[in-house]
Amino acid sequence: MIIKRITIFAAAVGLFGMAGLALAKEKAGTPAKEKAGAGMSEYTKGNQLFEAKQYEQAVAEFAKAIEADGKQPAFYENRGFAYIALEKGTEAAADFSKAIELTPKDERAYMGRAQALLLQKDYAQALADANKAIELKPDNAIGYKFRGFAEIGLSQWDKAVADFTTANQKNPDDPQNYDRRAWANRNLKNYDAAVADYTTLIEKNPADAEALVKRGATYTSLTQYEKAIADYQAALKLKPDDYDTVQRLQYVQSTVAAKNAPPPTATPTPTPEKPGLITPLNIGIAMALLIIIAIILRLVTRGKAEETSGRIR
């Protein structure tokens, strides 16, 4: 009996800024042949529910399979991927750890646990698991992709660029590799390289409003405002109600308007006119002086004797 292993790789929404939980399936290289036994019917049903995106129900069926036979690593792996789809990183990590215990050289279990650890923002441990997965299977692009995610979480921008470049070479059709490499390059201020990756995404999917907004933001960092405006306007045609993009557009437009505005005309400062001699103040001073003079004269003449005449009257 062939046990079907589901390999699902997801990126957390809050951690990596993707539009949603991105699920990608990869077929197992050579599925292990197992004898039909306890838990197989529940396991098969769990896979069917998983394919139907009924993840809670899938978890329940995988749990029944594990209860029936706890020695099958695929039972734990597939329940772990169902937990990842539900963004339950702690539960997923525990299942992948059990699968690793049962099959220490299964690179999928390490990649699954790396992904679960990324959901928990445990970047250092996720990096260690991604390294182990790459060691076990160097040609698998997913290992480099997850290591790049961990390196972004650790702000190891140069290493992230290198890993996403390798992932791109091995799988050029995965848009996350371009998007995350662009983000790492933006943090390194390698804006031209980031623009190139966003342009690739837009060429592959002209309706990718998110890539247009991100390229617009990168053009803004390059002070290429006209190109930024064009990208924001194109994004708003796809998503007219995106308030964040509206704000970005208004900011760049106001920046361009301020830059192109003519310099203000200087207003000459009027020269104050010299006041004339006849002013209320001067008149007041003159009147005060006259009064003072009159008082002084009065005081001087008050005690002086009058002249007498020698004529006898």
Residues 6+ apart with CB under 8 A from 214: 179, 182, 198
Q: pLDDT digits over 51-89, tens only? A: 999 999 999 999 999 999 999 999 999 999 999 999 999
* pLDDT at res. 309: 40
Q: pLDDT digits over 249-279, tens only? A: 999 999 999 988 887 776 666 666 666 666 6
Q: What one-letter code names the amino acid at 149?
A: F
Q: CA 180 to CA 190: how far, in whole Å?
A: 13
> What residues of the chain score a pLDDT lower than 50?
1-2, 7-35, 304-313
* pLDDT at res. 110: 98
* pLDDT at res. 270: 66
* pLDDT at res. 38: 86
Distances (CA, A) of 31 to 27, 41, 65, 87, 141: 9, 17, 18, 26, 19
Q: CA 172 to CA 182: how far, in whole Å?
A: 14
Q: If we measure between CA atoms, which residue out of 123, 55, 127 comes closest to residue 91?
A: 55
Q: If we measure between CA atoms, which residue out of 130, 118, 34 comes closest to residue 84?
A: 118
Tokens linked to 212? 């247009």
* pLDDT at res. 139: 96
Sign of the CA dihedral with 73 first, then 78, 79, and 84 last: positive
* pLDDT at res. 41: 94
